[in-house]
A and B are shown apart, each in its own frame.
Chain A
C-alpha cells in the first residue's frame, strides 16, 4: 500500500452528519440565545411547589375519575348540555356557511373587483384575529346569556375560516373551464353556477364538514363565559371539584369528536 491510499474505516469514523445551520457562528448564537431564554423564562415561572404538592392528590383523583367516570349523577345536565352544544353547532355552521360563501366569492381576487375584495379580506382578517372566547364575551354582554350568543360567536368565527379557504380555492381554479362557460355568453349567475361552483364544491363540502367538527369543539368552550352549551356544565363540575362528572363530560366530548371526525372522513372520501 502506498501513502496515497486512504483508510476508509478512519474516514467513516470521522464522518459527522451535516449540521442543520451551516454557519457555526450563527449556530452558537442561536443555541446560546435559546438556552439563555429558556433559563430566564423558566426562572420567571414562579412555581409554587407547596400548592402543587397539595394539588397532586386532586390530580390523582382526576386520573382515577377517568377510569370510573360518573355519567349518572348529573346525567340530565350532561344530556341538556350536549344537546345544546350539538344544536349550536348545526345552527352556527349553517349560518356561518351561508355568510361565508358570498364573502369568500368577494375575497377571491380573480372574480371580485378591488373594493369588494378589500372589504371582504378585512372582514376575514378581523374574524381570524379575534379569539372565539373574546367574541363570546362581547356577544354575551350584548345579546344576554344563552345559546344565541354562542351561535353568533361560532358563526362569526366560521366566516374567517371558511371564507379564507374558499377564496384561496377559487383563486386556484382552472381558468380554462371558467372561460369556456363565460364564452358561451353566460350571465354572472350562470358563470358562478357552471364555471366556478363545480370546481370548488368538493373542497367546500370538505371544509364545511371540518368546520362542523371545529364548531362542536369550540361550542364546549364558549359555555365557559355563559354562551350556552356543554362548557357551562363542565365549568360547574370543576368548580365543585366533581372530577368524576367532569371526566364523564370530557369523555363525551372526545367520543362525539371522534364520531364526527370518522364520519366526516367517510363523506369527504366520497365527494373528493
Chain B
C-alpha cells in the first residue's frame, strides 16, 4: 500500500510516486499533442468567418422555417429509391458476406494461413471505406443512379456483416458439430445441419441491424449522385432552397426513426 510520511503520520496514497509521475507525464504528452493539433486547425481556419457564424446560423435558420410542405409530392419516389437501395444493398451484402464469414472463421476456414488472412483483409477493406466513398467510386465507374448506390451499400456492408457473423460462427457449440460429423455427414451437411441452425438467430439479427444502418446511410448517398433522397437534398442545397432542405431533413429523420423502430421490433421477435 503506497503511503507518504507527512508530519510523522502515514498518509494513504492511491498510487506510488513513480506511477503518479508516469500518469502526469502521459497527460502532459496528451495535452501537448492536442494543443499542437488545435493550433494546426486554428491556422487553417479563417476566424473572421467563425466570428460571423452566429449571424449566418441565424440567417439560415430563419430561411429554413417554415418547411415547404408542398414539396413532399416530389419526395415519394426518392424515398422509395432510398428504401430499395438499403434493402437490395443488404441482400447483395448477405450473398457476399456469408461465404467471406465462413472463410474467416477459425473453425470453418479451409486454411488459416492462406485463405483466412485474405477474408480478413476483405472485411477490413470494406469496413474502412465509408459508403459515400464507395458510392463516389461506383458513380465514376458505372454512372450515377440507384444501382451505384445499391452496390456501394452492398460493398460497405460486407465487412460489418461478415465480421459479426464470423465471430458468431467461432462461438458455436462444438459438440453439436461433432455429433453431426459423427453420423458420417459430409462437410456441407455439417455446415447445413450443425452450424447453420446455431447461427441463424445471430444472422437474422445482424441482417436487420445492418438494414437499419443502411437506411440511414442510403439517405445521404445522393449527395455524390448515387440515387435516393440525397439527390433531392443536393439539388435543394445547390439552389439554396432552404425550406425544401428542412422538409427533406424531416423526412430523413422520420425514415431513420421508422427503420430503427422496425429493426428493434424484428430483433425483439427473433431473439
**A residues in contact (CB < 8 Å) with B:** 17, 20, 37-38, 41-42, 44-48, 51-52, 55, 58-59, 62, 83-84, 87-88, 90-91, 94, 129-131, 133-134, 137-138, 141-144, 146-148, 151, 217-218, 220-221, 224-225, 228, 231, 234-235, 238-239, 241, 246, 250, 253-254, 257-258, 261
Contacts and interface: CB of A to CB of B under 8 A. Distances in A.
A238 to B, nearest CB: 5
A17 B145 contact: no
Nearest to A94: B34
Interface of B: 33-34, 37-38, 40-42, 44-46, 49-50, 53, 56-57, 60, 80-81, 83-84, 87-88, 91, 124-125, 127-130, 132-133, 136-137, 140-143, 145-147, 150, 193, 197, 200, 216-217, 219-220, 223-224, 233, 237, 249, 252-253, 256-257
A58 B128 CA distance: 23
A144 B224 CA distance: 20
Contacts of B49: 143-144
Contacts of A38: 88, 91
Contacts of A254: 124-125, 128-129
A91 B136 contact: no
Q: Which 6 A-B pairs have the closest CB atoms?
A: A144-B49, A257-B128, A51-B143, A148-B45, A55-B142, A59-B141
Given A83-B40, A253-B129, 4 more contacts: A90-B34, A133-B223, A148-B41, A221-B130
Given A131-B216, A133-B220, A62 B132 contact: no
Contacts of A257: 124, 127-128
Which of A239, A241, A250 has the most chain B CB within a 10 Å cutoff? A250
Nearest to B81: A44
Contacts of A55: 141-143
Contact of A62 (B81, B129, B137): B137
B140 A241 contact: yes
A51 to B, nearest CB: 4
A221 B57 CA distance: 23
B136 A224 contact: yes
A253 B128 contact: yes
A224 B88 contact: no
